[in-house]
């Protein structure tokens, strides 16, 4: 201590002076003021301690930032919501060092919170937890949209008994997305703990990332469901498209075939020329002309149609073919068959009103048209038959009745019978027709006419008929005769 009362630090060193006999005679002392040196040394020690504290704080902050980054990385991963929230809770526990953590999400009606996932004691009761919004620990956080710390759960309004009985400290924050509460995350400890503002900020940062992750996961799952639904609908539409019994072809604006169903492939025999469906419109026409020379498209009257009147060209030019405007054509297909088609279709318009494609529907009406022509010819034959009967002389009916009872036939009867046989063959579209009369009293069978045989066969047939006489009563199948007598038409194979 100096005279002015200020304490100073000195470094004192002494050197002894010896007598001849080796005893110390006196000391020589040196004093050095080391006050400033001591102050600098103390400051250095304090700085070193501060540096160590700062370094420890930085390491802890780095760990927390890394944990937050892990949460962010997890949030960006395309995980299912269950796995996503579980992974994020694991990281939250690592950040805040707690014994229990749980994420509760708001139900669709917005009235309740349910535990979506939990780690710690709350896992045992998670499926049964249902907290009304506005009530209990989590319900108040959701209702007020702000953090909440509970230092003594036994004295707080907590709906879940397990939290109240086992945990000693609780901290919870809301999960917010664009000012919309989607849930709550809360953590707790088995031993008393004073959660700090830093803990609140850290949990809220984690909650913000979790909220975004949940929203992202919901969007992802919605997209996945929409994609699955779209694929299912596409498959369903494809199945319906393939099941249509008419041929359906979809074209782009240039006439390229985009899609055709199995019936269209069958009608056009596309499988016999696989390159047909992949060619341009003009190339397909050229292909048909080369392979099916001479290739023509005829209308329903057999008149050739110019190319600009072909149905697909008309539709691509904006014309709609439907109802009475449907087009009937006759043409050859890729396997060389001649078929008749009834074609309807419509252009496909884009948003701007321009034509972006076309759809044609074709029906193979070959057999139906044949049947119609056959029916028409049968009608003509019936009219001709009636005309023959009308043109028989006035006494023909009487002569006809008499001829049925006599063996001798008149020329008029033979002519009428043969003409009737020919008309019947045309109507039934069969190969051979014979007409035989039955004498009512004797049941003798008398041949009246036969058509469908060659001239030589017909001569032989008539000779056999004249040489033998048969009776209906002599038949070996009396049951058939009974049916015939009952005016039943017999069809025998």
Please give the share of the chain, as a percent, with pLDDT higher than 70. Answer: 87
Distance of alpha carbon 361 from alpha carbon 250, whole angstroms: 9
CA distance 383 to 360: 40
Cα–Cα–Cα angle for 335, 336, 339, nearest 5°? 100
Phi, psi of 484 (to 5 degrees): -65, -40
Return the closest-CA partner of residue 423 out of 474, 389, 446, 399.
Answer: 389
pLDDT for position 142: 94
Using a cut of 0.75, tell me whether the model's pTM lies above it: no
Closest to 341 (Cα-Cα) out of 380, 388, 305, 384: 305
Does the pLDDT of residue 347 top 80, yes or no? yes
Q: Residue 225: is the preceding peptide bond cis (ω within 30°)?
A: no
| Residue pair 457/431 in contact by the 8 Å Cβ criterion | no
352 or 487, which is more confident?
352
What pLDDT was estimated at residue 113?
A: 93
Q: Comparing 211-215, 229-233, 393-397, 477-481, which segment has the lowest mean pLDDT?
A: 393-397
More confidently predicted of 229 and 32: 229
Residue 319: partners with Cβ closer than 8 Å, 6 or more residues away? 347
Q: Among 10-19, 47-56, 106-115, 324-333, which is the least confidently predicted range?
A: 47-56
pLDDT digits (tens, 9 = 90+) for 376-418: 777 676 666 656 554 555 455 454 445 444 444 456 667 778 8
Mean pLDDT on 175-183: 90
Average confidence (pLDDT) over 315-335:
88
Residue 425's pLDDT is: 81
Alpha helix locations (H) across 77-130?
Answer: 81-96
Q: What angle do CA 484, 488, 490 make, to 5 degrees?
A: 75
pLDDT confidence band for 49 (50 / 70 / 90)? confident
Q: How far apart are CA 283 and CA 294, in angstroms?
A: 16
**Among candidate residues 362, 290, 288, 301, the one with its CA nearest the CA of residue 330:** 301
Share the mean pLDDT of the chain.
82
Structural domains of the chain in order of their starting residue, each with its CATH number: 76-221 (3.30.450.40), 247-364 (3.30.450.20), 371-485 (no CATH)
Q: What is the pLDDT of residue 60?
A: 62
Q: What is the DSSP letter of 98?
A: -
**Angle formed by the axes of helices 197-243 and 35-76, nearest 10°:** 20
If you ran DSSP here, which 8-state letter would residue 475 be given?
Answer: -
Helix (H, G, I), strand (E, B) or coil at 175: strand
pLDDT at 124 over 80: yes
Lowest mean pLDDT among 314-318, 387-391, 461-465: 387-391
Alpha helix (H) residue ranges in 317-394: 366-391
Q: Tell me what pLDDT residue 407 has.
A: 46
* Tokens representing residue 48 in the block: 């070193």
The radius of gyration computed from the CA coordinates of the chain, to the nearest angstrom, equals 54
Q: Which two tokens stand for residue 264?
A: 């269209």
- Rounded to whole angstroms, the Cα distance separating 257 from 254 reads 9
Nearby residues of 171 by Cβ (< 8 Å), 6 or more positions away: 96, 147, 148, 149, 150, 186, 187, 188, 195, 199, 200, 203
Rounded CA-CA distance 261/265 in Å is 6
Mean pLDDT of 6-33: 80
Band the pLDDT of 362: cuts 50, 70, 90: very high
- Is residue 67 over pLDDT 90? no
Q: Starting from the edge strand earliest in sequence, which strands make up the sheet with 327-332, in order? A: 257-260, 247-252, 355-364, 338-349, 327-332, 297-299
Is the CB of residue 361 less than 8 Å from the CB of residue 345?
Answer: yes
CA distance 221 to 65: 28
Q: Are 298 and 330 in contact (CB under 8 A)?
A: yes
Dihedral sign (CA 31, 36, 42, 45): negative
User: 465 pLDDT exceeds 50?
Assistant: yes
Q: Which 8-state DSSP code applies to residue 421?
A: H
User: How far apart are the C-alpha atoms of 88 and 217, rounded to whole Å?
Assistant: 13
Q: How far apart are CA 390 and CA 275, in angstroms?
A: 61
Rounded alpha-carbon distances, angstroms, from residue 29 to 8, 15, 22, 32, 37: 17, 6, 19, 10, 20
Average of pLDDT values for 107-128? 89
Distance CA(338)–CA(103), nearest Å, equals 72
The distance of Cα 219 from the centroid of its chain, to the nearest Å, equals 19
Collapse the DSSP code of 269 into the 3-class scheme (helix H, G, I; strand E, B; otherwise coil) and give the result.
Answer: coil
Question: Picking from 76-90, 317-331, 337-351, 360-374, which range would have the lowest pLDDT averaged per residue?
Answer: 76-90
């Amino acid at each position: 201590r100096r005279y002015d009362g200020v304490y100073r630090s000195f470094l004192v060193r002494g050197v002894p002076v010896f007598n001849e006999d080796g005893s110390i005679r006196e000391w020589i002392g040196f004093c050095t003021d080391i006050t400033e040196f001591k102050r600098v040394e103390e400051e250095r020690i304090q700085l070193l301690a501060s540096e160590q504290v700062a370094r420890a704080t930085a390491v802890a902050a780095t760990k927390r930032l890394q944990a937050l980054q892990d949460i962010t990385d997890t949030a960006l991963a395309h995980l299912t919501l269950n796995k996503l929230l579980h992974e994020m809770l694991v990281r939250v526990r690592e950040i805040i060092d707690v014994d229990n953590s749980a994420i509760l999400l708001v139900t669709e009606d917005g009235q309740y919170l349910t535990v979506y996932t939990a780690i710690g004691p709350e896992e045992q009761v998670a499926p049964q937890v249902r907290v009304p919004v506005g009530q209990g620990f989590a319900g108040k956080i959701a209702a007020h949209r702000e953090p909440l710390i509970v230092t003594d759960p036994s004295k707080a309004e907590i709906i879940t008994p397990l939290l109240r009985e086992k945990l000693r400290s609780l901290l919870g924050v809301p999960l917010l997305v664009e000012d919309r509460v989607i849930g709550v995350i809360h953590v707790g400890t088995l031993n008393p703990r004073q959660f700090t503002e830093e803990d609140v900020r850290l949990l809220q940062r984690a909650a913000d990332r979790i909220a975004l992750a949940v929203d992202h996961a919901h969007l992802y799952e919605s997209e996945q469901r929409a994609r699955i639904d779209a694929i299912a609908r596409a498959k369903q539409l494809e199945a319906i498209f393939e099941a249509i019994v008419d041929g359906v072809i979809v074209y782009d604006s240039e006439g390229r075939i985009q899609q055709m169903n199995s019936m269209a492939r069958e009608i056009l025999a596309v499988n016999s020329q696989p390159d047909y469906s992949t060619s341009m419109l003009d190339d397909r026409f050229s292909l048909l002309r080369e392979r099916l020379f001479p290739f023509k498209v005829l209308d329903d009257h057999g008149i050739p149609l110019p190319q600009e009147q072909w149905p697909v060209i008309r539709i691509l030019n904006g014309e709609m073919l439907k109802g009475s405007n449907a087009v009937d054509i006759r043409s050859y297909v890729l396997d060389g068959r001649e078929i008749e088609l009834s074609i309807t279709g419509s252009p496909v318009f884009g948003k701007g009103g321009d034509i972006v494609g076309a759809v044609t529907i074709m029906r193979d009406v070959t057999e139906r048209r044949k049947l119609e022509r056959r029916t028409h010819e049968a009608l003509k034959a019936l009219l001709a038959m009636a005309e023959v009967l009308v043109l028989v002389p006035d006494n023909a009916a009487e002569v006809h009745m008499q001829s049925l009872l006599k063996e001798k036939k008149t020329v008029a009867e033979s002519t009428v019978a043969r003409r009737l046989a020919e008309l019947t063959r045309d109507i039934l579209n069969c190969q051979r027709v014979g007409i035989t009369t039955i004498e009512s009293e004797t049941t003798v069978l008398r041949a009246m006419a036969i058509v469908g045989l060659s001239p030589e066969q017909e001569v032989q047939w008539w000779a056999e008929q004249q040489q033998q006489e048969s009776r209906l009563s002599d038949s070996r199948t009396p049951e058939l005769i009974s049916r015939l007598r009952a005016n039943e038409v017999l069809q025998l194979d």
